Amino acid sequence: MNIKRFTAALVLIAVVAAIAGCNLPMRSTPTQFVFPTPNLTMTAIFKPPVVIPPTVTPPSPTQPPATAAPTSAIPSPTSVPATATNLPPAPTRVLPTSTSLPTNMRQQPSVEAPFLTKVLMIDGDWSDWTAKAYPATSVVFGRSNWKDDADLEGSFRVAWDNNFLYVAIKVLDDQYVQGATGENLFRGDSAEILFDANVSADFFDDSLSADDFQLGISPGKGSVGQNMEAYLWYPSSKAGTVSGVKIGAVRSEGIWRVEAAIPWSIFGVTPANGQHYGFAVSVSDNDKAGENLQQSMVSNAAERSLADPTTWGDLTLKK
């Protein structure tokens, strides 16, 4: 074969094949080869280190930066102001209203005190008294030391005017022994007056309060009518000898009598017709000469307890 013809034939075949490859249908373009991106870890290894100035604290990887914090913080329990709008109201003691104040008497004996239109002589003599007499015969202390009525028995009368509460007490006592004074006055023959100045407001209170009074009357130290004395034990803030009480006392065979005019100012009240108060009259006895000893006590209130004003009874002022 002629070499020139063979070479020409090869060239022709190559040209036809190239033309056919450009026009054949369903031909897919080959994927372009992409060189892989260099490994970032490897890049970081060879990257120069970042030097952090010593005065700058690097951010923690587990905490957001300070600028990411909320603009208004939630107050803690201790930062909440103690105002009436966000705290429950404090418990308060509910007192009876003026329309619900009890006007009834206590179950203990009730006593009425008539208004005086003339001045009483405070001398221990009962002859100028017209008020009703009430018994004080219930043994409320030292029953084992109490023998009989001749040993200790009492009765009393009560009256009032605008300045004083008047109390007259008669005591059957076979021996008169009083050697104590002041706060120990009760350790000898003596009288005691319990007075609740605000009985309506604390009608159901079974404990002492500042308007409850315990006043002792001594007919005399050594003998009746000598060195007579009034002493206030309660309220304790006002405890002491009371010089404003007028006292008169006398004694006859087996009996001693005492009268007392007690200023209303001691109780802190202004008297008026129809007012009523907690009230009890009691008498202490000592039959041991030379000793200051309270052996027994009788009272008009059979359940009398000093610490419980609901056991005292009532006094009503009448005109």
Domain layout of the chain by residue ranges: 111-318
Overall average pLDDT of the 191-202 stretch: 93
On the question of pLDDT at 73 being above 50, the answer is: no
Local confidence band at 281 (pLDDT 50, 70, 90 cut-offs):
very high
Tell me what pLDDT residue 152 has: 82
Tell me what pLDDT residue 5 has: 61
Q: Quote the tokens at residue 46.
A: 């060879």
Which of 312, 260, 278, 283 has the alpha carbon at shortest distance from 185?
Answer: 283
Q: What is the mean pLDDT of the chain?
A: 77
Local confidence band at 253 (pLDDT 50, 70, 90 cut-offs):
confident
Contact 160, 270 (CB under 8 A): no
Residues sharing a CB contact under 8 Å with residue 242, sequence separation 6 or more, in sequence order:
215, 230, 231, 232, 266
Q: Quote the tokens at residue 154.
A: 């009492």
In the CATH scheme, what architecture does the domain 111-318 have? Sandwich (2.60)
Q: Provide φ and ψ at 230, rounded to 5°.
A: -120, 135
On the question of pLDDT at 65 being above 90, the answer is: no
On the question of pLDDT at 88 being above 60, the answer is: no
Q: How far apart are CA 138 and CA 112, in angstroms?
A: 19
Specify burial of residue 276 (Cβ count, 10 A radius: 0-12, 13-18, 19+).
buried
Per DSSP (E only), the strands in the chain are: 110-114, 134-136, 138-141, 153-160, 164-172, 190-196, 212-218, 229-234, 240-241, 246-252, 255-263, 276-285, 296-299, 314-318
- What does pTM read for this prediction? 0.68
Q: Tens digit of pLDDT for each residue in 110-144?
A: 999 999 999 899 999 988 999 999 999 999 999 88
Three-state secondary structure call for residue 32: coil
Q: How many CB atoms lie within 10 A of CB 27?
A: 9
Q: How far apart are CA 293 and CA 212, in angstroms?
A: 25
Least confident of 92-106, 176-190, 223-237, 257-271: 92-106
> Strand 190-196 relative to strand 164-172: parallel, antiparallel, unpaired?
unpaired
Q: What percent of the chain has pLDDT over 70?
A: 65
Tell me what pLDDT residue 14 has: 56
Q: How far apart are CA 7 and CA 78, in angstroms?
A: 103
Question: Which of the two residues, 12 and 78, has the higher pLDDT score?
Answer: 12
Tell me what pLDDT residue 201 has: 85
On the question of pLDDT at 299 being above 80, the answer is: yes
